[in-house]
């Protein structure tokens, strides 16, 4: 059977969503690819959020900060102290059993005191007695570093672009550098928003075209604490890059940096005051100790991922702990491809949900929510269970935009459908039926199909003679009065008005919406119209108009029902034997003097009691037909 539908209905459904959905998807996907660098800052904010919501607890029992704090400055004088005094502090830390003593302080100039040379010499002797290391920094504006490296390097596949490279730097005095066991870089590289998230572990100095490698202070602390003589480095600018120091292998990721785990566990601090008073302190045995100034206005504090400010020495201690524990935060392999895959997969699911549940908006929203949240869940799972970073916010934001756009498109489509249905069917269907069609699959409901229906034809008796006596205006008034009552009763029982035929109305039940009791509804409707007219006739006569008497014919049977017509004019109608039978039965009512005749098809399907009237020969039928009236 042909499934012709209304022209407007052809544009409803999934196909109407494909083009806008695809265009928006391409735009969002293309923006994510083209502006990847621009979105990097947003991605880092997401990673910060992971650490803020679910911070990682590190075991910081292997590190400690020896703080030259406000109490120490008040007790032993303002900063800078004489180098000999700092040497005493180094001796005290060494006597306390520290595995390594790092100084997050710069000694690029001689001691400026009256006995500066002697003070520097005393400090150098203290450094030589300790497993000590000094801080240095690389600076693009400084000249080449004049001191030698403390550790050897075994390098595999050196890619100079894979290490942070500068032409020169700031180093400790040669005598001090010579006395120390190690030298480490303390330079930091904050992101554009001022947050320090990642720290390079390997730096390259390139004086005169040569390349010298320097370790970060945190990694040099591990080498000195283990007594290791050298590093083994694989540096090719690949995710597999790593550096081995002693018994620790540190992955470097693709950019040679490791991300700071901004733990909520406080780094242990020991005041320098007690060490200088007693010459030793409990709790430093076997630890990596970092001497630093912890006083406002003297040392620099750095903004970290969770939004707090940390002492530089705290960051070195955390990084050293990460390397000792083997705990790192790296982006998931192929993170961008995974994020874009989550976005594309979510688009497909959203399209299926929005088109499949277009008529059930609340259910569509509930089904779409997990799809939109899936990238967020994937990112949270990767962080919580794998220490991997995956940005779920950007794919989720894209899916939210897709869902909102798709929902809006379907809403606009539903509004267009509602307007079209109201325009086309409000005269022939009750408002409830029109609303129900707008909320269901309209195209399927209005397609042409063979369906069992019950047809009812109600006609005004003697209208031809009446209209001649009344004149056109009053005849129209009588007909409109009749049609108003007929429409009300038909709509009240979920009927469909097929057409008006002058002073008659043809209606049917069980299409477009199913009504299993369609025969009962038709008979009840005909009785209601007849009764309502009898009640209203006195009012009509009071206005000087004649009383209206009608006859009704009802029959059930299989008919072709649906939208039929041409591109210029199309109607929802029914054609078939039951329609023809109602017309012939209506003509027979006048011959038999009956208000209502019911055909055998409707009689067989109704629950109402009927009175058989025998068999009659109807025009165009070869065999006689049994007819009935309500009991």
Three-state SS string over 151-170 comes to CEEEEECCCHHHCEEECCEE
Q: What is the mean pLDDT of residues 299-320?
A: 93
Q: Are 540 and 497 in contact (CB under 8 A)?
A: no
Residue 484 pLDDT greater than 90, yes or no: yes
pLDDT attached to residue 620: 80
Give the pLDDT band of residue 435 (cuts 50, 70, 90): low
Strands 610-616 and 596-598, how do they pair? unpaired
419 has a pLDDT exceeding 80? no
472: CB partners within 8 A, 6+ apart: none
Whether the per-residue pLDDT at 568 is higher than 80: the answer is no
| The pLDDT of residue 416 is above 80 | no
Model confidence at 432, in pLDDT bands (50, 70, 90)? Answer: low
Per-residue confidence band for 433, with pLDDT thresholds at 50, 70 and 90: low
Average the pLDDT over each of 77-91, 249-263, 520-534, 597-611 and give the range with the smallest value. 249-263
Q: Pick from 481, 517, 518, 478: which is nearest to 496 by CA?
A: 518
Report the alpha-carbon distance of residue 498 to residue 507 in Å, rounded.
Answer: 5
Q: How far is CA 562 from CA 511, 556, 571, 578, in A?
A: 8, 17, 8, 15
Structure tokens of 532? 């309502």
CA-to-CA separations, 59 to 63, 317, 476, in angstroms, rounded: 9, 11, 95
Residue 552: partners with Cβ closer than 8 Å, 6 or more residues away: 456, 457, 458, 459, 526, 529, 530, 586, 589, 595, 596, 597
Higher pLDDT, residue 415 or 319: 319
Instruction: Please provide the size of the chain in residues.
Output: 631
Average pLDDT over residues 293-309: 89
With cut-offs at 50, 70 and 90, classify the pLDDT of residue 146: confident
For the chain, give the mean pLDDT: 89
Model confidence at 4: pLDDT above 50:
no
Cα separation, 155 vs 302, whole angstroms: 32
Q: What DSSP string describes 4-60? A: ---TGGGG-STHHHHHHHHHHHHHHHHHHHHTHHHHHHHHHHHHHHHHHHSPPPP--
Q: What is the DSSP letter of 619?
A: T
Residue listed under structure tokens 């100790």? 289
Distance of CA 37 to the CA centre of its chain: 21
Contacts 24+ apart (CB under 8 A), 354-360: 354/17, 354/403, 354/406, 354/407, 354/410, 355/13, 355/14, 355/17, 355/410, 358/13, 358/410, 358/413, 358/414, 359/414, 359/439, 359/440, 359/441
Q: How many whole angstroms separate alpha carbon 549 and alpha carbon 534?
A: 8
pLDDT tens per residue, range 494-545 = 999 999 998 999 999 999 889 999 999 999 999 999 999 999 999 999 988 9
In angstroms, the CA 120 to CA 105 distance is: 14
Arithmetic mean of pLDDT, 577-581? 94
Q: In terms of pTM, does the model score above 0.75?
A: no
| % of the chain exceeding 90 in pLDDT | 66
Query: What is the model's pLDDT at position 5?
Result: 41
Greater confidence, 140 or 546?
A: 546
What's the pLDDT score for residue 80?
A: 92
pLDDT (mean) for 59-86: 94
In this prediction, residues 319-323 reach a mean pLDDT of 97
């Amino acid at each position: 059977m042909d499934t012709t539908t209304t022209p407007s209905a052809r544009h409803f459904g999934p196909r109407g969503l494909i083009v806008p959905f695809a265009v928006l998807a391409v735009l969002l996907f293309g923006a994510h690819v083209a502006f990847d660098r621009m979105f990097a800052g947003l991605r880092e904010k997401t990673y910060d959020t992971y650490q803020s919501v679910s911070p990682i607890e590190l075991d910081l029992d292997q590190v400690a900060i020896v703080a030259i704090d406000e109490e120490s400055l008040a007790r032993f004088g303002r900063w800078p102290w004489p180098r000999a005094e700092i040497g005493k502090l180094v001796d005290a830390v060494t006597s306390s059993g520290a595995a390594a003593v790092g100084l997050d302080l710069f000694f690029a100039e001689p001691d400026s005191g009256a006995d500066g040379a002697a003070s520097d010499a005393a400090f150098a002797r203290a450094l030589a007695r300790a497993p000590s290391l000094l801080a240095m920094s690389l600076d693009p504006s400084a000249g080449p570093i004049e001191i030698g490296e403390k550790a050897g390097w075994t390098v595999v596949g050196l890619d100079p672009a894979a290490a942070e490279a500068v032409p020169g730097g700031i180093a400790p005095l040669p005598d001090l550098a010579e006395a120390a066991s190690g030298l480490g870089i303390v330079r930091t590289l904050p992101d554009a928003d001022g947050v320090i998230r990642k720290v390079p572990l390997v730096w390259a100095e390139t004086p005169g075209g040569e390349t010298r490698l320097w370790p970060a202070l945190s990694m040099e602390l591990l080498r000195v604490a283990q007594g290791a003589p050298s590093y083994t480095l694989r540096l090719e600018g690949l995710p597999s890059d790593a550096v081995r120091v002693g018994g620790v292998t540190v992955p470097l990721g693709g950019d040679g940096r490791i991300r700071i785990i901004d733990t909520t566990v406080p780094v242990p601090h020991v005041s320098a005051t007690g060490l200088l008073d007693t010459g030793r302190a409990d709790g430093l045995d076997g630890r990596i100790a970092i001497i630093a100034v912890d006083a406002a206005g003297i040392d620099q504090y750095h903004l970290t991922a969770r939004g707090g400010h940390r002492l530089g020495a705290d960051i070195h201690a955390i990084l050293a702990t990460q390397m000792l524990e083997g705990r790192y935060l790296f982006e998931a392999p192929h993170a961008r491809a995974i994020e874009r895959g989550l976005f594309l997969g979510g688009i497909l699911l959203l399209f299926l949900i929005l088109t499949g549940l277009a008529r059930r908006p609340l259910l569509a929203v509930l089904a779409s929510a997990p799809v939109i949240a899936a990238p967020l869940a994937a990112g949270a799972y990767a962080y919580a269970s794998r220490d991997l970073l995956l940005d779920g916010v950007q794919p989720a934001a894209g899916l939210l935009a897709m869902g909102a756009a798709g929902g809006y498109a379907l809403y606009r489509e539903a509004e267009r459908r509602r307007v079209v249905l109201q325009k086309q069917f409000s005269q022939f269907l009750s408002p409830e039926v029109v609303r129900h069609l707008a909320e269901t699959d309209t195209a399927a409901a209005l397609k042409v199909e063979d369906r069992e229906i019950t047809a009812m034809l109600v006609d005004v008796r003697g209208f031809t003679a009446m209209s001649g006596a009344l004149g056109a205006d009053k005849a129209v008034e009588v007909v409109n009065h009749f049609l108003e009552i007929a429409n009300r009763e038909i709509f009240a029982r979920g009927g469909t008005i097929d057409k008006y035929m002058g002073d008659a109305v043809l209606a049917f039940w069980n299409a477009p919406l199913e009504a299993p009791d369609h025969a009962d509804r038709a008979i009840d409707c005909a009785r209601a119209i007849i009764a309502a007219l009898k009640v209203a006739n006195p009012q009509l006569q009071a206005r000087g108009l004649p009383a209206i008497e009608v006859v009704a014919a009802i029959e059930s049977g299989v008919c072709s029902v649906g939208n039929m017509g041409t591109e210029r004019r199309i109607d929802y109608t029914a054609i078939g034997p039951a329609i023809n039978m109602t017309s012939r039965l209506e003509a027979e009512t006048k011959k038999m003097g009956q208000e209502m005749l019911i055909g055998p098809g409707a009689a067989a399907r109704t629950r109402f009691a009927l009175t058989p009237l025998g068999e009659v020969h109807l025009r165009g039928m070869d065999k006689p037909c049994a007819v009935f009236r309500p009991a």
